[in-house]
Amino acid sequence: MASRFNPLKADAHWQKVWDEAGTFRASDASGRPKAYILEMFPYPSGRIHVGHGRNYVMGDVLARYKRMKGFEVLHPMGWDAFGMPAENAAIERKVHPGEWTRANIAAMRGQLKLLGLALDWSREFATCDPAYYGHEQALFVDLFEAGLVYRRESEVNWDPVDMTVLANEQVIDGRGWRSGAPVERRKLSQWFLKITDFAEELLDGLETLDQWPDKVRLMQQNWIGKSRGMRFRFRIADPTAGFDSFEVFTTRPDTIFGSSFAALSPDHPIALALAEGRPEVAAFIAECKKGGTTAAELETAEKLGFDTGLKAVHPLDPEWLLPVYIANFVLMDYGTGAIFGVPGHDQRDFEFAHKYGLPILRVVAGSAADADRPVEGEAEPGEGVLVNSRFLDGMDVEAAKAAVIARAEGEGWGEGTIVWRLRDWGVSRQRYWGTPIPIIHCPTCGAVPVPRDQLPVVLPEDVDFETPGNPLDRHGAWKNVACPRCGGAAARETDTLDTFVDSSWYFIRFASQPADRPFDKAAAERWLPVDQYIGGVEHAILHLLYSRFWTRALRRLGMLGIAEPFQGLFTQGMVTHLTYRDADGNWLLPEEAEAAMDAGLPVTHGRIEKMSKSKKNVIPPEPIVAQYGADALRWFLLSDSPPERDLQWTDAGIEGAWRFVQRLWRLASAEAGGAGEDASLERKLHRTIAAVGANIEALAFNKAVANIYELANAIEKAPPSASRAAAVETMILLVAPMVPHVAEEAWAAAGRERLIADAPWPEADPALLVEEEVTIAVQVNGKLRDTLTAPKGAPRQALEEMALASDKVARILEGRAPRKVIVVPDRLVNLVA
């Protein structure tokens, strides 16, 4: 047997063996319990780096482990292939987006294959395949017919660089999530999916996701943003411009007697109507729109108001008139676009009242005795008892809320209600490289869905990107069609779907891909939900919320009997690497940095950052695999850092991993020899079997790695014995999910005919998990003074006597008897002097 493991030969060999045997092909018909392991599929942006690899290797270890545990494992791979980078590449390099995308997929598939991933490649697809997006169009038509899709003119987030609309979720600090350009407001006709119809169940469903990180559940909960409160109508004392009342929403109906003004959003219909006849109103509204939307600007933005001169009648006192302002801080798209101001108990209203000299009334106080204490410095939004509030006086906040709502509902001027922060999902994109929206606009029939037998609506290939904007819009031959309903001249919708639609159901298509429909219900339900989903936390809201919505929508349509698509979710950390910059702050490749230093130019070590092309700190997998092999790379990616935390790429780290792979090989290929039992090694082995299994299931790969190191150390120190030879063999099984190539090689070298990938996971013998002897800590006053060895399960009395017999303890106690003795069996004895 060779003294060194040669990954160059072994990697390719075993990858071919797995491939030819169809080892990782998932069977829909197997009787074994299923496990669906999925990593978020990649966008084919060019090349992968080792940071992407970490994600796939984690899923791979779990998939291989589950196979060994007897599960039928579905572990597929595909490509989230629509999106703007392809179009940008088309514009810059004059290649067709499809060509660019296909070339990237081919390159990245080759890179992934170098890692020896246990993937079922037979289910691979790209979302830009008409065979995929055609079914997506069919699903869109289904949702359309079910009333879950609608079109409306709306003010949208317009990205002036990418020349497209962005969803609210895609606007970060007022800038486009991709381009980074400040987002503009524009009015456009857009297609929307009714995700708000599902707000309640998306929120409640979070409760069932106990295998999701709390952090992600909390983020979704905040995003959905449920607020309970009351809606009520203010009558306008002197109706103008055709309006005699307006509605407001509040979460604090209890403070209704603390109100000193009402305020309308600058976009409110009444404000807009007033602006028609009064230039000063129009000017104020224009002023409000000027301000930026970045965090910093909003932080410092002044509260601005314009007194319309209108008076609102207090709903509980017809004599009480409130001034009506237009105020810049009132948002049209939350609640009703109008508020009633309670300066004493809301900070924004407080600032507003200060600026415009409005009364600041106290209606909540710590106790009734504080009723006359003025509210000073800042608003008091907290708990207390109601004061200065007529029939509410003396109630606590919750009771007062209920009392006001009951009164309003009884008298018919308001009602208890719930308001959501979540908005409907705008899915129209004015881009070419996406799924065409399967709708035809007919001047007579309106928006007509493309009949199912005419799907897919295929993207035309012959498009030009010379002119800015959407090339579909200019493509007459594609765009101009007959109306499917009346046969008259009509035009295709030229907007394409947000690519997040593509990724909202790909996991269903992986489970089942018939040619004639999106998926087969029974086949999909065999695999779904995904047992373990792995990906970046950056998708905590967008992709994960949309997928949950899509799955629930399909359920409502009766197409799928599953509520939640992802039972387990894991968000892994990034791989980071050193960066270098020159004197001008430009990023340098490591070799450029070296050359510059040799030339005596100043080079600064940048921060250790997430690998990215722009920072020039990416490590591609090819040279690493060529030098150290796939197993060393996999081992490194699993070692040391907890998987949810960032992992720093270092040359020393990959070399350490390579040394371990070689060490495994040496252990496995050494002459076995020896006879007889080694009870202590067997205990170690069985504890390791249990620990590695538990740690892999918990995705604590770094701990599983440490368990293996401990076992390897113990085996190396153990004298030859039959136990030792068996331990080596078992260790090969334990590392097989993590370093599969060297494991197969060692397995074959040991004369095994079956693949180790098909071998069963070893079972820990429960009898060997229990120690016969334990080390007992002996403390005096809580400080460790001695340790002693006792049989497992020794009685308290015996432990106490042994502890008192210790010389060290005797020296410290100086002959005194301890006042108190605490004995924790099998752990410690604490003598309190």
Partner RNA sequence: GCGGACGUGGCGAAAUCGGUAGACGCAGCAGACUUAAAAUCUGCUUUCCUUCGGGAAGUGUGGGUUCAAGUCCCGCCGUCCGCACCA
Position among 131, 298, 321, 458 found at the interface with RNA (CB under 7 A)? 298
> Closest CB to RNA among 272 and 553?
272
Q: How far apart are CA 808 and CA 198, in angstroms?
A: 68
> Closest CB to RNA among 103 and 804?
804
Q: Minimum distance between the CB of residue 775 and RNA, rounded to whole angstroms?
A: 3
Q: How far apart are CA 1 and CA 512, in angstroms?
A: 45
Tell me: does residue 336 bind RNA (CB under 7 A): yes
Q: Are 89 and 45 in contact (CB under 8 A)?
A: no
> Closest CB to RNA among 109 and 226?
226
Q: Minimum distance between the CB of residue 645 and RNA, rounded to whole angstroms?
A: 4
Interactions with RNA, residue window 191-230 (CB under 7 A):
214-215, 218-219, 222-223, 225, 227, 229
The three-state secondary structure class of 245 is strand
Cβ neighbours for 627, distance < 8 A, ≥ 6 positions apart:
none
Position among 517, 526, 785, 825 found at the interface with RNA (CB under 7 A)? 785
Position among 241, 334, 413, 417 found at the interface with RNA (CB under 7 A)? 334
Tell me: does residue 571 bind RNA (CB under 7 A): no
Q: Minimum distance between the CB of residue 301 and RNA, rounded to whole angstroms?
A: 4
Q: How far apart are CA 660 and CA 260, in angstroms?
A: 73
Cβ neighbours for 674, distance < 8 A, ≥ 6 positions apart:
719, 720, 721, 722, 724, 725
- Helix and strand numbers (H, E) in the chain are 27, 35
Going by the DSSP 8-state scheme, the letter that residue 761 receives in this structure is P
For residue 531 the two structure tokens come to: 């047992």
Position among 79, 329, 433, 665 found at the interface with RNA (CB under 7 A)? 329
Q: At what angle do helices 621-628 and 630-638 cross, to 10 degrees?
A: 110
Interactions with RNA, residue window 347-376 (CB under 7 A):
348
Position among 85, 291, 620, 674 found at the interface with RNA (CB under 7 A)? 291
Tell me: does residue 832 bind RNA (CB under 7 A): yes
Q: Minimum distance between the CB of residue 55 and RNA, rounded to whole angstroms?
A: 17
Tell me: does residue 32 bind RNA (CB under 7 A): no
> Closest CB to RNA among 322 and 553?
322
Q: Mark the segment that binds RNA (CB under 7 A) among 125-133, 196-204, 334-342, 746-754.
A: 334-342
Q: Minimum distance between the CB of residue 709 and RNA, rounded to whole angstroms?
A: 3
Q: Are 182 and 161 in contact (CB under 8 A)?
A: no
Q: Which residues of 70-80 are buried (b: 16+ CB within 10 A; e: fewer)?
A: ebbbbbbbbbb
For residue 244 the two structure tokens come to: 């005699």
Q: Minimum distance between the CB of residue 225 and RNA, rounded to whole angstroms?
A: 6
> Closest CB to RNA among 463 and 540?
540
Position among 64, 175, 233, 252 found at the interface with RNA (CB under 7 A)? 252
> Closest CB to RNA among 390 and 645?
645
> Closest CB to RNA among 123 and 233?
233
Q: Minimum distance between the CB of residue 655 and RNA, rounded to whole angstroms?
A: 6
> Closest CB to RNA among 121 and 420?
420
Interactions with RNA, residue window 383-442 (CB under 7 A):
419, 421
Q: Minimum distance between the CB of residue 508 and RNA, rounded to whole angstroms?
A: 26
For residue 139 the two structure tokens come to: 């699903």
Position among 330, 387, 490, 764 found at the interface with RNA (CB under 7 A)? 330
Tell me: does residue 604 bind RNA (CB under 7 A): no
Alpha helices (H) in 557-629, listed in sequence order: 590-598, 621-628
Would you give the distance in Å from CA 23 to the centre of its chain? 31
Interactions with RNA, residue window 508-567 (CB under 7 A):
537, 540-541
Residue (of 502, 734, 647) closest to 53 by Cα position: 647
> Closest CB to RNA among 92 and 396?
396
Interactions with RNA, residue window 159-198 (CB under 7 A):
168, 172
> Closest CB to RNA among 35 and 256?
256
Position among 27, 469, 775, 798 found at the interface with RNA (CB under 7 A)? 775
For residue 564 the two structure tokens come to: 């939640």
Position among 101, 104, 157, 641 found at the interface with RNA (CB under 7 A)? 641
Q: Minimum distance between the CB of residue 291 and RNA, rounded to whole angstroms?
A: 6
Position among 473, 655, 729, 800 found at the interface with RNA (CB under 7 A)? 655
Q: Which residues of 244-274 are buried (b: 16+ CB within 10 A; e: fewer)?
A: eebebbbebbbbbbbbbbbbbbbbbbbbbeb
Burial of 286 (0-12, 13-18, 19+ CB in 10 A): exposed
> Closest CB to RNA among 435 and 617?
617
Tell me: does residue 328 bind RNA (CB under 7 A): yes
Position among 147, 374, 476, 782 found at the interface with RNA (CB under 7 A)? 782
Q: Mark the segment that binds RNA (CB under 7 A) among 295-303, 393-401, 445-453, 459-467.
A: 295-303
Q: Mark the segment that binds RNA (CB under 7 A) among 309-317, 327-335, 360-368, 791-799.
A: 327-335
**Angular region, 304: left φ>0, alpha ψ -120 to 50, beta rest:** beta
For residue 379 the two structure tokens come to: 């608003």
> Closest CB to RNA among 390 and 811?
811
Tell me: does residue 494 bind RNA (CB under 7 A): no
Q: Minimum distance between the CB of residue 606 and RNA, rounded to whole angstroms?
A: 14
For residue 396 the two structure tokens come to: 């606590």
Tell me: does residue 659 bind RNA (CB under 7 A): yes
- DSSP string of 537-575, one letter each residue: GGGTTHHHHHHHHHHHHHHHTTS---S-SBSBEEEPPPE
Q: Minimum distance between the CB of residue 818 and RNA, rounded to whole angstroms?
A: 10
Cβ neighbours for 651, distance < 8 A, ≥ 6 positions apart:
none
Cβ neighbours for 797, distance < 8 A, ≥ 6 positions apart:
none
Residue (of 740, 658, 725) closest to 685 by Cα position: 725
Position among 42, 176, 305, 653 found at the interface with RNA (CB under 7 A)? 653
Going by the DSSP 8-state scheme, the letter that residue 300 receives in this structure is H
- C-alpha torsion angle, residues 572, 77, 692, 537 (rounded to 10): 10
Interactions with RNA, residue window 259-278 (CB under 7 A):
265
For residue 227 the two structure tokens come to: 């607020």
Position among 339, 385, 624, 738 found at the interface with RNA (CB under 7 A)? 339
Site size toward RNA (CB under 7 A) is: 84
Q: How far apart are CA 689 and CA 710, in angstroms?
A: 12
Q: How far apart are CA 784 and CA 808, in angstroms?
A: 10
Distances (CA, A) of 789 to 33, 428, 772, 811: 45, 71, 10, 20
Tell me: does residue 635 bind RNA (CB under 7 A): no
Q: Mark the segment that binds RNA (CB under 7 A) among 490-498, 505-513, 754-762, 772-780.
A: 772-780
Tell me: does residue 671 bind RNA (CB under 7 A): no
Element holding 780 (H helix, E strand): strand 773-780
Q: Minimum distance between the CB of residue 377 and RNA, rounded to whole angstroms?
A: 13
Q: Minimum distance between the CB of residue 475 and RNA, rounded to whole angstroms?
A: 36
Q: Would the CA dihedral through 770, 776, 782, 785 be positive or negative?
A: negative
Interactions with RNA, residue window 703-762 (CB under 7 A):
703, 705-706, 709-710, 713, 716-717
Q: Minimum distance between the CB of residue 632 and RNA, rounded to whole angstroms?
A: 12
> Closest CB to RNA among 336 and 551?
336
Q: How far apart are CA 304 and CA 352, in angstroms?
A: 7
Position among 286, 784, 805, 810 found at the interface with RNA (CB under 7 A)? 784
Tell me: does residue 640 bind RNA (CB under 7 A): yes
